[in-house]
Structure 1
């Protein structure tokens, strides 16, 4: 399950195929990635991965259409909705625990919204200065013209800062979606999660194992989908097909600290308490668009998690890409956010393609990593939930 991304799902297939070629060369593996096929209902894109004789059926669960309906939003909607959202969050007491538990991620989100505020003020200032230069324009017409011109300037500024290095429109709209989903103001994702739950549940008994992977915003949406499966079928995962959940670039506390996110907090608590679902949290301290400092249950103010719920591993950026590339990419926040979905230069380090398509089952890897306290230098670091 991808994050808040309006791109066509075949984009992810292309990324996977490209990185599979790199993994094959770096690890001396024979990897074949089949062509993507959309499901009849359009909710999924499937492809087959063959790695050294082992076959993985990879399904990307789509919600890019829901993202595209919200990003990019019209500037008029942002001007109305952003102040209302932050007024609600500040009044609810959300801001202090968010800054404490999310730290760098909170600085990014708050910083982007301050940039947005600066762009609004700048647009008004430039418009007012420009109108002052127009001879004979004053009074009512001046008051009327300034906001109209400022709106046009703001539209240009938002377009200019939509991509790297600021991603203002993307992160402002992503924040709005997250908290609208938390509060129930936007219900479109609920029906989609029901459909995802049916797809996941339907794989039981037909596969040797089921692995649900949630990247970025799907770290909490994946939990909600699995929770729907457990509610419909409490014996899911206990009939011989191992089930695992893997969160990558997690932002779970971003939503669960919202007082209105009762459904998401409930899903987090129930999935974390289920011994039928193994959970691996892949973390990266160099990823500023993820929340990686603490166990997501503790950070969400939920009761102390069971031991190794989730099993957490930290991946070093030096294991994935060369230092010269790190220097060039480190301020491209979205590129770094996707790095854990890519091939690693170190053949012994965490590699996404080898992880999901390798011969060793993911549930067995999670069990093995659960008992690891530290890997040798140049590898990932595993930790207990209390760290």
Structure 2
């Protein structure tokens, strides 16, 4: 399950095929990735991986159309929705807890909104200056034109910069989608998750192992999908067919700390308590677009069943890419965020292709990494939602 990304699903297949060739060359392996095919119902893009005689069927959930309906949004909608959103979040104390649990990620999210505000003020200042240069005889009409000109300048600024260096438009729109999904104002994803839950449930009859991987925003969407499966079939995962959840570049507390997201926290608690389903959290301390200070349950105000829920793998960036590449990519936050979905230069390090299609079952890897960690801080209580 990919994150908030408007690109067509074939982009992910292309990335997977390219990285599989790199993994095969680095490790001396025989890996073949089939051509992709779109499911008849349009729910997924599917392909197979043959890895040293083992075959894996890979299904990528499609929700690029839902993202495309939310990004890019008009600047008018951003100007209308963003201030109201952050006023609500500040009023309920969310911002403080968010910064406490997700220091780097909160810095990025709050930072891109500050940059967008700077673009707005810059556009307004330039428009005001230009109108003041107009002949005095043209006033007050020239002054009344300031908002129109400022809006045009803001649009031009966003197009010319493409939101760089931090992809401002993308992250601003991703933020509003996340909180709209939390509050129920955005409902389009629910039907998609219902359908995918049915697909996951049906796979239990044919697959030797089921692994649900949620990257970025799909770390919490994957939780919601599994919660739907368990609601349909409480015995799912208890019939001898191993089932695992893998979260990569997780941002679960981003949504779960919102007081309006009580149903998200409920899903999180239920999936965490489903001991028949393994859970592995792949963390990268160098990834500014993920939340990795502590386990996502405690960070979300949900009591953790134990220190190994989820099991954890921490990946060093030095094991994935060469130092010269790291120097070039370090501040390309999006590319760094996707690095965990790529090949690793160290044959003994975490490698996404080998992880997904290699001979070791994912549930066995989770069992190996269920080691009690250091004592966690108490769960942060999430206050009741308030009107507005």
Q: TM-score, normalised by structure 2?
A: 0.95
Q: CA deviation at 1:137?
A: 5.4
Aligned partner of 2:272 in structure 1 is 272
The 2-side partners of 1:147 and 1:385 are apart by: 54
Aligned partner of 2:386 in structure 1 is none
Aligned partner of 2:385 in structure 1 is none
The 2-side partners of 1:172 and 1:313 are apart by: 30
CA contact (8 A) 1:164 1:333 kept: no
Q: CA deviation at 1:139?
A: 3.6
Asked if residue 127 in structure 1 is aligned to residue 127 in structure 2, the reply is yes
Q: CA deviation at 1:136?
A: 4.0
Aligned partner of 1:145 in structure 2 is 145
Deviation by residue 1:86-111 (Cα, 9 ceiling, x = unmatched): 11111111011000001110000001
- Cα distance 1:283–1:172, how it changes in 2: closer, same or farther (>3 A)? same
1:29-48 to 2 correspondences below 5 Å = 29-48=29-48
Aligned partner of 1:378 in structure 2 is none
Q: CA deviation at 1:138?
A: 4.4
Aligned partner of 1:377 in structure 2 is none
CA contact (8 A) 2:38 2:46 kept: yes
Q: CA deviation at 1:158?
A: 1.4
Deviation by residue 1:351-374 (Cα, 9 ceiling, x = unmatched): 000000001110011111224x8x
Aligned partner of 1:368 in structure 2 is 368
- Cα distance 1:137–1:277, how it changes in 2: closer, same or farther (>3 A)? farther
Aligned partner of 2:154 in structure 1 is 154
Q: CA deviation at 1:304?
A: 3.3
CA contact (8 A) 2:3 2:216 kept: yes
1:29-178 to 2 correspondences below 5 Å = 29-136=29-136, 138-178=138-178
CA contact (8 A) 1:120 1:154 kept: yes
SS of equivalent to 1:55: strand
Gaps of 5+ in 1: 374-382
Deviation by residue 1:27-56 (Cα, 9 ceiling, x = unmatched): 111000000000011110000000000000
SS of equivalent to 1:338: helix
Aligned partner of 2:247 in structure 1 is 247
Aligned partner of 1:380 in structure 2 is none
Asked if residue 352 in structure 1 is aligned to residue 352 in structure 2, the reply is yes
The 2-side partners of 1:196 and 1:112 are apart by: 32
Matched positions, count: 377
1:275-314 to 2 correspondences below 5 Å = 275-314=275-314
CA contact (8 A) 1:49 1:55 kept: yes
Asked if residue 318 in structure 1 is aligned to residue 318 in structure 2, the reply is yes
SS of equivalent to 1:370: coil
The 1-side partners of 2:333 and 2:314 are apart by: 18
Aligned partner of 2:258 in structure 1 is 258
CA contact (8 A) 1:312 1:384 kept: no
The 2-side partners of 1:266 and 1:172 are apart by: 26
- Cα distance 1:316–1:134, how it changes in 2: closer, same or farther (>3 A)? same
The 2-side partners of 1:346 and 1:291 are apart by: 24
Q: CA deviation at 1:144?
A: 2.1
Pairwise CA RMSD: 1.3
Gaps of 5+ in 2: 378-388
Q: TM-score, normalised by structure 1?
A: 0.95
Q: CA deviation at 1:384?
A: 5.8
Aligned partner of 2:23 in structure 1 is 23
The 1-side partners of 2:177 and 2:374 are apart by: 32
Q: CA deviation at 1:146?
A: 0.6
1:217-236 to 2 correspondences below 5 Å = 217-236=217-236
The 1-side partners of 2:47 and 2:243 are apart by: 20
- Cα distance 1:108–1:230, how it changes in 2: closer, same or farther (>3 A)? same
Aligned partner of 2:210 in structure 1 is 210
The 2-side partners of 1:305 and 1:259 are apart by: 22
Deviation by residue 1:275-333 (Cα, 9 ceiling, x = unmatched): 11100000001100000111111101112332310001110000000011101001100
